[in-house]
Amino acid sequence: MKFLTVSLLLSAAFAYYVYLPLPDTLSEPWKLMVLDAVFRTFMHVGNLAHVLGFGHDIHVINYFVMKAEGTGPQSSQTMQVTDTFFAGVPVRVFEPTKPVRQPHLKRGVVYFHGGGWALLSGRMRSYDLLCRNMAEELDAVIVSVDYSLAPDAHFPQQYFDALKTSAFFLSPEVLAQYSVDPQRVAISGDSAGGNLAAAVVQQMVADNRTTKFKVQALIYPVLQALDFNTPSYQQNGNTPILYRPIMARFWLEYLNASPDLAPLLLANNHTALDLASMPQEVRAKIDWTRLLPPAFRKDYQKVTPAEGSGSVLEELPALLDVRAAPLLAEEEVLSAVPPAYIMTCEHDVLRDDGLMYGRRLEEAGVAVTSDHYQDGFHGCMVFSSWPAKFSVGTRSMWNYIRWLKENL
Ligand SMILES: *[C@@H]1O[C@H](CO)[C@@H](O)[C@H](O)[C@H]1NC(C)=O
Ligand SMILES: *[C@@H]1O[C@H](CO)[C@@H](O)[C@H](O)[C@H]1NC(C)=O
């Protein structure tokens, strides 16, 4: 009897911990609740370790993630996998080695993993699997970049790492060494990795480089930190796995600012109407009342306080820096970037970052393929294998790879 009571209580506590009211249009809500409970546990452990003085919570979380998920560079009969360095930055390179009748040049993809510029690694099982699938399906050399992470590195270090590794791979000698066709190299990344990919292609336009990326594929990218109240931020603030305050915290870590500024950012106080440091032409670049179709705007209202917290944009000029926020680029730069594939998810605070960027690229004359997942959530594309296997994860991953196959 006692045993039964205890088990019932434990189950109730467990269900309470795991249960979240979620929209029923989400792919497999129960699985997402369990996944989210696992993430929350990581966060709690990280916070606890921080409070107890065992280390920075981000280090602790990354330690557990890599313990649970890290893999070595395991080659197979058809795939050579190597951990090496490009321009001093650690990378994992996947090369298909299937014997072919005619020697030929392969495609190439430079990939940046997600994780808020702070977490995760290209050496995790889920990214390792994604890159293997890509290498095999596209007959491509995939370079998965382990750029520096916060809190050990801050903007613009992550960005410079991404730029350096891209330039290194695109050099004629390195492409030749890997038998990659200079006309068929893509740049890609998810979440914070999509931010880095978008920023790098913009910079390469400005640099007038001779060897360029043929296409860019941005997976639910984060592209701006001036409006934390876009319709998607308002709609999905409490949807796992990327909660609204967590995205603000990631930005502040990336920009090396105090996490205490999060409430201010979330209130859009840094872009209040009384701030001279927020020019009108910058507002226009993030004006979702114009850049989003009505179906996404719904009835959401803009949050633009009349009075704000004066000095934030001066203290954190990176908030206005296109290298951190590629959505703020000038149209002239956008008009010269390669064709884009942009994946967005309905249940994601970053949905509108991606949609607005797609719209701005189109207005600049760039060919854009928008791939929107009505049942998708932030991060879903890397949840395509057991034990975190979602239907929308598998579907989105193969659609993304198919797009690369047809356009690269
Ligand atoms: C870039 O290349 C174009 C054409 O080759 C040239 O006209 C232009 O001056 C170059 N710009 C820079 C910044 O090097
Ligand atoms: C936003 O700015 C207003 C006006 O300066 C201030 O009263 C309010 O406390 C600020 N809110 C946050 C969260 O910083």
pLDDT > 70: percent of the chain: 99
**Distance (Å) from CA 249 to ligand 2 centroid:** 18
Rounded average pLDDT over 361-378 = 98
Q: 189 with 111: CB under 8 angstroms?
A: yes
pLDDT > 90: percent of the chain: 74
Kindly list the strands in the beta sheet with 368-377, ordered across the sheet, starting from the edge strand earlier in the chain.
79-86, 89-96, 140-145, 106-112, 180-190, 215-219, 340-347, 368-377
Q: Tens digits of per-residue pLDDT, 213-246? A: 999 999 999 999 999 999 999 999 999 889 999 9
What gap in Å lies between CA 192 and CA 196, rounded to an integer? 6
Q: 309 with 278: CB under 8 angstroms?
A: no
Residue 316 tokens, joined:
């954190």
Q: Tens digits of per-residue pLDDT, 87-124? A: 999 999 999 998 777 888 999 999 999 999 999 999 99
pLDDT at 135: 98
Nearest protein CA to atom 14 of ligand 2, as residue: 264
Residue 267 tokens, joined:
């209130």
Rounded average pLDDT over 9-36 = 79
What gap in Å lies between CA 138 and CA 404, rounded to an integer? 8
Query: Is the model's pLDDT at 379 over the cut of 80?
Result: yes
- Report which ligand 2 atom has the smallest distance to the Cα of 267: 13
pLDDT at 300: 98
pLDDT at 191: 98
Query: Is the model's pLDDT at 18 over the cut of 80?
Result: no
| Pairing verdict, β 89-96 and 79-86 | antiparallel
pLDDT at 308: 86
Helices (H), 208-258: 231-236, 244-254
247 closest CA partner among 161, 119, 85 = 119
Least confident of 15-19, 231-235, 280-284, 348-352: 15-19
Nearest protein CA to atom 7 of ligand 2, as residue: 308
pLDDT at 276: 77
Ligand 2-lining residues (CB < 6 angstroms): 263-264, 267, 269, 305, 307-309
Q: Which of 348, 352, 353, 371 is catalytic?
A: 348
Rounded average pLDDT over 144-154 = 97
pLDDT at 99: 79
Q: 291 with 355: CB under 8 angstroms?
A: yes
The residues with which 108 forms a beta bridge, in sequence order, are 141, 185
Q: Tens digits of per-residue pLDDT, 158-203? A: 999 999 999 999 999 999 999 999 999 999 999 999 999 999 999 9
CA atoms within 13 A on the CB side of 273: 5
Q: Tens digits of per-residue pLDDT, 28-77? A: 888 888 888 888 887 888 788 888 887 888 998 898 889 888 999 999 99
Rounded average pLDDT over 240-254 = 95
Out of 261, 265, 269, 274, give the residue to mutate to test ligand 2, the one with the largest number of ligand atoms within 8 Å of its CB: 269
Active site residue 348: yes
Residue 169 tokens, joined:
């791979």
- Estimate to the nearest angstrom the gap between the alpha carbon of 223 and the chain centroid: 9
Residue 229 tokens, joined:
């109240």
Mean pLDDT of the chain: 93
CA atoms within 13 A on the CB side of 348: 27
**Distance (Å) from CA 309 to ligand 2 centroid:** 6
**Distance (Å) from CA 76 to ligand 2 centroid:** 57
Q: Side chain identity at 81, as an amino acid letter? A: V
pLDDT level of residue 299 (50, 70, 90 thresholds): very high
Q: Which domains does the chain have, with CATH numbers?
A: 69-224+332-407 (3.40.50.1820)
pLDDT at 1: 65
What gap in Å lies between CA 312 and CA 280, rounded to an integer? 17
Active site residue 378: yes
Q: How far is CA 185 from CA 81, 104, 196, 309, in A?
A: 19, 15, 16, 44
Query: Is the model's pLDDT at 155 over the cut of 70?
Result: yes
